[in-house]
Every structure is written in structure tokens, then in C-alpha cells.
């Protein structure tokens, strides 16, 4: 920002602005915008895909079949299972909509949760303690804030139902990776699917990547045609508004 004398707006593709120095932008009169909701469906679709891959060992079965095998690998049916959603914003709500047809029980924890909205989607509001104790799958959809940074720590993981799985399509900073490694290697958790890491890319020496019960993807939740088109249009519209001297629609700073 200091080197960009003519910079008037930073238009963030996506919702999170934790990688933008909002204070520095404000001090320089630089507007910061984001694109709320534009990638919600795409991230929710990935969350459900990862959940299904944790339930059914599709990747391993496909690899062994391609190699000439014919494995019989046990899996889990989602019917009758409990899925806990931590964070019930646009992505959490979309995830609930997509899971509605799987006959699973849906719980949600969010300090700002609207219980009527949740109930309309077949989701029951729960405390964090209740959600962790009851859920077979816990899916993270929370932003990074001082309150949520490192939320998934040793105490959090110890409260999870034995044999449960964790899905993170939100931010890597939500998870204490060392504590997660311990929970996975000890057998406390059945598995984890991670689309976000504390350091990105995590590097081949990250011990989580060596575990057979970890599915890792390269922060690809928003990488679909629908999401990128919507984010581009929203970001461009706000850029043009600022350049015209108008108030942008999705200003965050």
C-alpha cells in the first residue's frame, strides 16, 4: 500500500479479509470490499464432497482398483448420522441445504445463529459442547476472529465424539494442527478433510499430509466457474463504484 500511491480500492475475491491490513488501508483512505455469498454454494459443495469422501473411502478404492485390485472397504452411511456445523453464515446455511437429502441430523453452533432460519433448514441450534459430543462429522464454517483463532485445539478435539471426523473448508488458522495430528494418530478421530492450512501451501513436510486418514486439498473451495464469475462481477462492480466516487455495495473497510 505504501508503494501504491494511486491505490483507491482493494477488492477481495471471497469473504475473508484477514489477509488485508484494514488499519493501513483506512489510514491511507483505501476502500476495502469483499464478495459475500458469491462462493458460498461452491464452498458448501466441497464441504459435502469431503464429508462423503471421509464417510466412503472412494479415493483409496479407486486407486486400488486401477492398480488391479478389487478391495472391499467399509464405509459409513450418512443416514442417521449427526453433522455439526460450526458457523451458520452463508456457507454454513448452503451446506445444511445440500445435506438435507441425506437423512442425517443437523446441528449448528454460531453465536449469531437465528434459530428460526436454522429450523427452516431442518437444523437444530446447539451449544458448542453439545455439538461436539453428538456429531459424527464436524464441519467448520467460521471466520477467523480473535475468538475463533485456534478454536480447534486439544480441548476441542477431546470433546468430539470418539471416531468422529473433521472437515475444514474455512480457514487454517481455526485449527491447532499439532493437536489435530495427535487426535488423528491416537485414533481419537476417524479422519480429517482439510482445504485450508495455517501455512499455505503447507509443504510436503507437514506431518498431517503423511496420514492415510487425512484428505488434503489446495484451498479450492471457491474454484468453480460459478463462484469465480460471481466474485469477479461483484468485485468489479465495487471497483467501478469507487472510481466513480460512489459508495461500494460490499464495503468492509
Whether 223 is catalytic is no
Cell numbers for 62: 479407486
Catalytic residue among 93, 171, 173, 190: 171
C-alpha span between 173 and 160 (Å, rounded) = 19
Q: Which of 8, 115, 147, 200 is catalytic?
A: 200
First to last CA, the chain: 14
SS3 state at 221: coil
C-alpha cell at 90: 452463508
Cell, residue 227: 463462484
Beta strands in the chain (DSSP E): 9-11, 31-33, 82-86, 105-109, 123-125, 137-140, 165-168, 191-194, 214-216
Q: Which of 188, 219, 223, 251 is catalytic?
A: 219
Cα–Cα separations (whole angstroms), residue 68 to 57, 65, 75, 156, 204: 17, 5, 21, 41, 28
173 is catalytic: no
200 in active site: yes
CB crowding 27-54: b at 16 or more within 10 Å, else e: eeebbbbbbebbbbbbbbbbbbbbbbbb
Give DSSP secondary structure letters for 123-189. EEE--HHHHHHH-SEEEE-PPP-TTTTT-BSHHHHHHSPTT-EEEE-S-GGGB-HHHHHHHHHTTSS
Residues labelled as active-site residues? 171, 200, 219
Amino acid at each position: 500500500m505504501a508503494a501504491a500511491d494511486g491505490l483507491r480500492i482493494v477488492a477481495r475475491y471471497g469473504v475473508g479479509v484477514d489477509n488485508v491490513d484494514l488499519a493501513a488501508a483506512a489510514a491511507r483512505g483505501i476502500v476495502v470490499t469483499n464478495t459475500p455469498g458469491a462462493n458460498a454454494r461452491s464452498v458448501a459443495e466441497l464441504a459435502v464432497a469431503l464429508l462423503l469422501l471421509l464417510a466412503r473411502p472412494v479415493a483409496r478404492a479407486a486407486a486400488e482398483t486401477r492398480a488391479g485390485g478389487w478391495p472391499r472397504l467399509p464405509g459409513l452411511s450418512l443416514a442417521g448420522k449427526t453433522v455439526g456445523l460450526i458457523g451458520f453464515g452463508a456457507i454454513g446455511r448452503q451446506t445444511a441445504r445440500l445435506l438435507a437429502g441425506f437423512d442425517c441430523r443437523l446441528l449448528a453452533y454460531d453465536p449469531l445463529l437465528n434459530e428460526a432460519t436454522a429450523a427452516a433448514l431442518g437444523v437444530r441450534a446447539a451449544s458448542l459442547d453439545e455439538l461436539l459430543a453428538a456429531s459424527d462429522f464436524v464441519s467448520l464454517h467460521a471466520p477467523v476472529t480473535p475468538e475463533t483463532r485456534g478454536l480447534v485445539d486439544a480441548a476441542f478435539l477431546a470433546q468430539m465424539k470418539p471416531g468422529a471426523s473433521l472437515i475444514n473448508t474455512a480457514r487454517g488458522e481455526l485449527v491447532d494442527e499439532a493437536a489435530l495430528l495427535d487426535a488423528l494418530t491416537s485414533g481419537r478421530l476417524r479422519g480429517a478433510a482439510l482445504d485450508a492450512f495455517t501455512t499455505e501451501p503447507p509443504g510436503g513436510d507437514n506431518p498431517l499430509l503423511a496420514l492415510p486418514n487425512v484428505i488434503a486439498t489446495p484451498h479450492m473451495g471457491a474454484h468453480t466457474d460459478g463462484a469465480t464469475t460471481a466474485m469477479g462481477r461483484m468485485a468489479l462492480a465495487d471497483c467501478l463504484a469507487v472510481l466513480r466516487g460512489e459508495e461500494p455495495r460490499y464495503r468492509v473497510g
